[in-house]
Amino acid sequence: MKLSRYGIHRVIEPIGVLPQAANIIDSNPVCLDNELLIEVDILNIDSASFHQIKEACNSDIEVMKSMILDIVKSKGKMQNPVTKSGGMLIGSIESIGKEFHDQSLKVGMKIATLVSLSLTPLHIEEILSINITNEQVKIKGKAILFDSGIYAVIPDDLSEKLVLAALDVAGAPAQVKKLAKEGQTVLIIGAAGKSGVLCAYQAKKNVGASGKVIGLVNETSQKELLESLGLCDEIILENALNSLDVYEKVSLVTSGQLADVTINVVNVQNTEMTAILSTKDHGIVYFFSMATSFTKAALGAEGVGKDLDMMIGNGYTKGHAEITLSILRESQKLYDLFMKRYA
């Protein structure tokens, strides 16, 4: 068998595609020469996927366990068949293939994978628990990291669960760091969520005193959270599904100018037009949410005559892990929030 650094040798069906696009992959927990074998502690299911599973199972933990086990058993990976998304994991290195690109790693090291569970071969022996509030699933099982896979060694100064929660969305604040400029207006749709607060913090750093960060939330408790964190210059309380209402409120707080950059990190469908309408012509809309429909975004922008740069969220950008963990080290308020929610 010819080994591929991208893991194509693990694809069962259909042959020829990469593991993420495959319907079924080989999850046999045996470390091949160019792979890393990980003893998994916790899966951090991505927000859109976890929300869908929780809704489908009426928040019944035992039913959720069965659904997750069925997905992994049938596909060889944790890829939600509805959202097509996965998440990430934390675990200890059990074995290192002799041709794996990083031979500086040691057996027993704790790492967090920075590639999606939707392409990661996963073998679950048992689901020990599901935390309904932080989207973390404690398991007994093993996973394979391909030679092309990226990861972060868990730092000694931060809680493992906190690191896992933060790195699951590390691509979002790192992309904001690249996109938001001094003096701009940045709208964060879903600003009180895990990725939302990190994005708001980074946006505030980028735009400076001359810029403005607007947070959109749909619950009073979320508004109060953002107020306590001091991350936003304006907070709009409105359902992100109500595109016109949000647009009018954004227009009001920006004196009709709208947002230069809009970051959409909500975990529900049908918020594409909210982001599009709230962004000025020639602005940027960044869709980080896995609930985003490319079709709805592309045709929706065309339908309302918006000339925008629309970006599909990439969970990876160079240095994203370091950028995100540095935020938690810089901000005591965010550190305390993440410790309370996830650790």
Q: What are 338's two structure tokens?
A: 């993440």
What is the mean predicted confidence (pLDDT) over 97-106?
Answer: 95
pLDDT in tens, 320-342: 999 999 999 999 999 999 999 88
Question: At which of 94, 123, 154 does a domain end?
Answer: 154
pLDDT in tens, 7-58: 999 999 999 999 999 999 999 999 999 999 999 999 999 888 999 999 999 9
In terms of domains, do 245 and 114 share one? Answer: no
In terms of domains, do 148 and 175 share one? Answer: no
Question: Helix (H, G, I), strand (E, B), or coil: what is residue 115?
Answer: coil
pLDDT band at 289 (very low <50, low <70, confident <90, very high): confident
pLDDT greater than 90 at residue 127: yes
pLDDT at res. 291: 80
pLDDT at res. 195: 93
pLDDT at res. 283: 97
> What dihedral do alpha carbons 131, 217, 82, 59 form, nearest 10°?
30
What is the mean predicted confidence (pLDDT) over 96-123?
Answer: 95
Which residues are paired to 311 by β-bridges? Answer: 286
What is the mean predicted confidence (pLDDT) over 298-303?
Answer: 93
In terms of domains, do 148 and 179 share one? Answer: no
pLDDT at res. 149: 94
In terms of domains, do 217 and 68 share one? Answer: no
Alpha helices in 57-208 (DSSP H): 61-75, 160-167, 171-179, 194-207
Q: What are 34's two structure tokens?
A: 């160019």
Query: DSSP state, 3?
Result: -
pLDDT at res. 34: 97
Residue 308: give its domain's CATH number.
3.90.180.10
pLDDT at res. 49: 92
In terms of domains, do 29 and 138 share one? Answer: yes
**Residue 1 within a domain:** no
In terms of domains, do 196 and 314 share one? Answer: yes
pLDDT in tens, 237-284: 999 999 999 999 999 999 999 999 999 999 888 999 999 999 999 999
Residue 273: alpha-carbon gap to chain centroid: 21
In terms of domains, do 184 and 271 share one? Answer: yes
Domain count of the fold of the chain: 2
pLDDT at res. 169: 87
Closest C-alpha among 225, 223, 181 to residue 204 = 181
pLDDT in tens, 142-176: 999 999 999 999 998 888 888 888 888 889 999 99
pLDDT greater than 90 at residue 209: yes
In terms of domains, do 136 and 17 share one? Answer: yes
Angle between helices 320-330 and 332-342 (to 10 degrees): 100
Q: What are 315's two structure tokens?
A: 């969970």
Q: State if pTM tops 0.85.
A: no
Cα angle for residues 310, 315, 319 (degrees, 5° grid): 110
pLDDT in tens, 180-208: 999 999 999 999 999 999 999 999 999 99
What is the percent of the chain where pLDDT is above 70? 100
Contact 134, 23 (CB under 8 A): no
**Residue 142 within a domain:** yes
Task: Note down the domain range covering 308.
Answer: 171-342
**Residue 180 within a domain:** yes
Question: Which positions ≥6 away from 144 have C-beta within 8 Å?
Answer: 7, 10, 27, 29, 31, 35, 36, 37, 38, 120, 121, 122
